[in-house]
Amino acid sequence: MSDKVVKTDSQWREQLTEEQFRVTRKAGTEPPFSGSYTDHTDDGIYRCICCNEPLFTSETKFHSGCGWPSFSAQIDQGAITHHVDYSHGMDRTEVRCHKCDAHLGHVFDDGPAPTGLRYCINSVALDFDDKN
Protein backbone atom coordinates (compact mmCIF):
# COMPACT_ATOMS: atom_id res chain seq x y z
CA MET A 1 0.00 0.00 0.00
CA SER A 2 1.18 3.50 -0.72
CA ASP A 3 1.40 6.49 1.61
CA LYS A 4 -1.69 8.11 3.11
CA VAL A 5 -3.44 10.88 1.21
CA VAL A 6 -4.31 13.75 3.54
CA LYS A 7 -6.17 16.86 2.35
CA THR A 8 -8.21 19.62 3.94
CA ASP A 9 -11.98 19.75 3.47
CA SER A 10 -11.44 22.66 1.11
CA GLN A 11 -9.07 20.59 -1.04
CA TRP A 12 -11.50 17.64 -1.09
CA ARG A 13 -14.37 19.99 -2.08
CA GLU A 14 -12.35 21.20 -5.07
CA GLN A 15 -11.85 17.62 -6.23
CA LEU A 16 -15.23 16.02 -5.47
CA THR A 17 -18.87 16.73 -6.27
CA GLU A 18 -21.00 17.84 -3.31
CA GLU A 19 -22.55 14.34 -3.06
CA GLN A 20 -19.16 12.62 -3.25
CA PHE A 21 -17.85 14.94 -0.52
CA ARG A 22 -20.91 14.38 1.70
CA VAL A 23 -20.61 10.59 1.44
CA THR A 24 -16.85 10.04 1.46
CA ARG A 25 -15.64 12.82 3.73
CA LYS A 26 -18.68 13.22 6.05
CA ALA A 27 -19.79 9.55 6.24
CA GLY A 28 -23.06 10.12 4.40
CA THR A 29 -25.11 7.56 2.48
CA GLU A 30 -26.62 7.80 -0.97
CA PRO A 31 -30.28 6.75 -1.29
CA PRO A 32 -30.76 3.02 -1.95
CA PHE A 33 -31.08 1.96 -5.61
CA SER A 34 -29.86 5.40 -6.77
CA GLY A 35 -26.20 4.65 -7.46
CA SER A 36 -24.71 4.11 -10.89
CA TYR A 37 -22.93 0.89 -9.84
CA THR A 38 -25.83 -0.87 -8.08
CA ASP A 39 -26.70 -2.98 -11.15
CA HIS A 40 -23.36 -2.53 -12.94
CA THR A 41 -22.02 -5.80 -14.39
CA ASP A 42 -18.96 -4.85 -16.48
CA ASP A 43 -15.61 -6.56 -15.79
CA GLY A 44 -13.01 -4.39 -14.14
CA ILE A 45 -11.75 -2.76 -10.97
CA TYR A 46 -13.63 -0.45 -8.62
CA ARG A 47 -11.42 2.32 -7.23
CA CYS A 48 -11.75 4.93 -4.51
CA ILE A 49 -13.21 8.14 -5.99
CA CYS A 50 -10.97 10.21 -3.71
CA CYS A 51 -7.52 8.69 -4.28
CA ASN A 52 -7.92 6.13 -7.09
CA GLU A 53 -6.81 3.25 -4.86
CA PRO A 54 -8.06 -0.17 -6.12
CA LEU A 55 -10.69 -1.51 -3.70
CA PHE A 56 -12.79 -4.25 -5.34
CA THR A 57 -12.89 -6.36 -8.49
CA SER A 58 -15.93 -7.24 -10.56
CA GLU A 59 -15.29 -10.92 -9.72
CA THR A 60 -16.37 -10.29 -6.11
CA LYS A 61 -19.39 -8.10 -6.97
CA PHE A 62 -22.82 -9.66 -6.50
CA HIS A 63 -26.45 -8.54 -6.51
CA SER A 64 -27.63 -8.57 -2.90
CA GLY A 65 -30.85 -6.61 -3.40
CA CYS A 66 -29.88 -4.15 -0.64
CA GLY A 67 -29.86 -1.11 -2.94
CA TRP A 68 -26.10 -0.50 -3.00
CA PRO A 69 -23.26 -2.23 -4.85
CA SER A 70 -22.22 -5.33 -2.92
CA PHE A 71 -18.89 -7.13 -2.89
CA SER A 72 -17.83 -10.29 -1.05
CA ALA A 73 -14.15 -9.34 -0.67
CA GLN A 74 -11.76 -6.43 -0.94
CA ILE A 75 -9.22 -6.50 -3.78
CA ASP A 76 -6.25 -6.98 -1.41
CA GLN A 77 -6.06 -7.57 2.31
CA GLY A 78 -5.59 -4.15 3.88
CA ALA A 79 -7.11 -2.09 1.04
CA ILE A 80 -10.04 -1.31 3.32
CA THR A 81 -10.06 -0.53 7.03
CA HIS A 82 -12.88 -1.50 9.41
CA HIS A 83 -14.24 0.81 12.13
CA VAL A 84 -16.94 0.38 14.76
CA ASP A 85 -19.97 2.55 13.91
CA TYR A 86 -22.71 3.12 16.50
CA SER A 87 -24.35 5.98 14.57
CA HIS A 88 -28.11 6.09 13.99
CA GLY A 89 -28.68 3.75 16.96
CA MET A 90 -27.11 0.78 15.14
CA ASP A 91 -24.09 -1.43 15.75
CA ARG A 92 -22.34 -1.68 12.38
CA THR A 93 -18.87 -1.91 10.88
CA GLU A 94 -17.95 1.07 8.73
CA VAL A 95 -15.44 0.54 5.91
CA ARG A 96 -13.00 3.17 4.68
CA CYS A 97 -10.31 3.38 2.04
CA HIS A 98 -6.98 2.54 3.65
CA LYS A 99 -5.11 5.16 1.61
CA CYS A 100 -7.29 8.27 2.18
CA ASP A 101 -9.83 7.29 4.89
CA ALA A 102 -12.80 7.90 2.57
CA HIS A 103 -16.04 6.53 3.96
CA LEU A 104 -17.17 3.79 1.56
CA GLY A 105 -20.08 2.13 3.34
CA HIS A 106 -20.42 -0.82 5.71
CA VAL A 107 -19.62 -4.52 5.83
CA PHE A 108 -22.02 -7.21 7.07
CA ASP A 109 -21.61 -10.93 7.72
CA ASP A 110 -24.51 -12.05 5.52
CA GLY A 111 -22.67 -12.38 2.20
CA PRO A 112 -22.00 -15.40 0.00
CA ALA A 113 -19.37 -18.09 0.50
CA PRO A 114 -16.46 -18.33 0.75
CA THR A 115 -16.05 -15.07 2.74
CA GLY A 116 -19.57 -14.69 4.12
CA LEU A 117 -19.10 -10.92 3.83
CA ARG A 118 -21.21 -8.26 2.13
CA TYR A 119 -19.40 -5.00 1.58
CA CYS A 120 -22.30 -2.60 1.03
CA ILE A 121 -20.70 0.36 -0.77
CA ASN A 122 -21.94 3.76 -1.94
CA SER A 123 -21.62 4.13 -5.73
CA VAL A 124 -20.50 7.76 -5.38
CA ALA A 125 -17.48 6.54 -3.39
CA LEU A 126 -16.30 4.50 -6.37
CA ASP A 127 -14.83 4.94 -9.83
CA PHE A 128 -14.65 2.07 -12.30
CA ASP A 129 -11.83 0.91 -14.58
CA ASP A 130 -13.01 -1.35 -17.39
CA LYS A 131 -10.70 -4.33 -18.08
CA ASN A 132 -11.18 -3.98 -21.84
Catalytic residue set: 120
Pairing of strands 103-108, 118-121: antiparallel
Closest CA relative to residue 25, chosen from 131, 100, 83: 100
> Cβ(95)–Cβ(109) under 8 Å?
no
Q: How far apart are CA 125 and CA 29, in angstroms?
A: 10
